[in-house]
Amino acid sequence: MAGHSQFKNIMHRKGGQDAKRARTFAKLGREISVAVRSGGSPDPAHNPRLRAAMAAARQANMPKEAVERAIRKASGQTTAEAYEEVRYEGRGPYGVALIVEALTDNRNRTAADLRSIFAKHGGALGETVAFQFDRIGLVRYPAAVASADAMLEAAIEAGAEDVTTGPHGHEVVTAPDMLAAVQAALEARFGEAESAKLEWRPNITVALGEEAARAVLKLVEALEDHDDVQNVTANFEVDEAVMEKLSA
C-alpha cells in the first residue's frame, strides 16, 4: 500500500486521541465555501464538489450549523474570506516527492510557512515533482452498497476507467474531467457516495524503512497541521508491518 494511503489510515486511528477537531472543521468549512463559489450553486444537488464536501463534513461529524454557515458565507449572505486554491510541490527526506494542496487568503504567507516546514524536516519546497503522480477522479463507496460485479458494471457504463474492490469498499477511478458525470451516474444507482474528489496518485514510489518512514511522516503530519493545507500526497512505500508499528 502506498504511503499516502497508509498515512491517512494512521491519521484516522489517531484522530479521536488528539485535539484537531476544530482545525478539521475549519478546513472543511473552507472547502465548502470554495465549492459553492467554484460550482456556481449553493445547492448540492446541482454542485458535485459541494455535495462531496458536505459528505466529508458529515463523516467528520461537523455540526450542521457550521456547514450551513459556510454555505451562507460563500453565497454572499455574510462577509466571507476569499480563498485561493494553490498547489505546492517539494521533496522530503530520502527523496520522497510531495504535493501539497492548500486554500489560502494569503499565498505569500502560506508559501513561507510551508517552506519553513519542509526545511525543518529535511526537505525542500519548490522542486517539480508532479510528473511522479497521476491526476485522477476517485469515487468511493462502502462495500455493502453493491457487489464487486455490480459496481464494476455500473462504473463501466458511467465511463469510469477502473474499479478496485476490497474489504474497505469500492474505489472507482475516473479521468479528471469525467468525475462529476461518473459520480452522478453512480449516485443515481447506489445513493450518495462516501466521497468523490480529484486526487493525486503516485506513479513512482520510494521504498522506506522504519527510520526513514518516521522522518517522512513527521513532515507530512506537520504539513497536515497547517491551517491552510487541505491535502498532502506523498509517493513513499512502507512495509505493512513497519506501518503498523509506527501507527501503534
Q: Which pLDDT score, from 0 to 100, does residue 80 have?
A: 57
Count Cβ atoms within 10 A of the Cβ of residue 91 and give its class: 0-12 exposed, 13-18 middle, 19 or more buried.
buried
Contacts with 202 (C-beta within 8 Å, 6 or more apart), sequence order:
2, 4, 97, 132, 133, 134, 233, 234, 235
In the predicted model, is pLDDT for residue 21 greater than 70? Answer: yes
Look at the block and give the residue holding cell 466521497.
Answer: 195
Identify the CA nearest to 8 among candidates 162, 209, 231: 231
Q: What confidence tens digit (pLDDT) does each residue in 116-167 have?
A: 999 999 999 998 999 999 999 999 999 999 999 999 999 999 999 999 999 8
pLDDT value at 15 more than 70: no
Q: Are strands 206-208 and 195-202 parallel, antiparallel or unpaired?
A: unpaired
Q: How confident is the model at residue 231 (pLDDT cuts 50, 70, 90)?
A: very high
How sure is the predictor about 247, in pLDDT bands with cuts at 50, 70 and 90? Answer: confident
Predicted TM-score (pTM) of this structure = 0.84
Class of domain 7-74: mainly alpha
User: Would you say residue 77 has pLDDT above 80?
Assistant: no
Domain range summary for the chain, segments of one domain joined by + = 7-74
- At residue 17, does pLDDT exceed 60? no
Inter-axis angle of helices 3-14 and 210-225, nearest 10 = 60
Which pLDDT score, from 0 to 100, does residue 8 have? Answer: 54
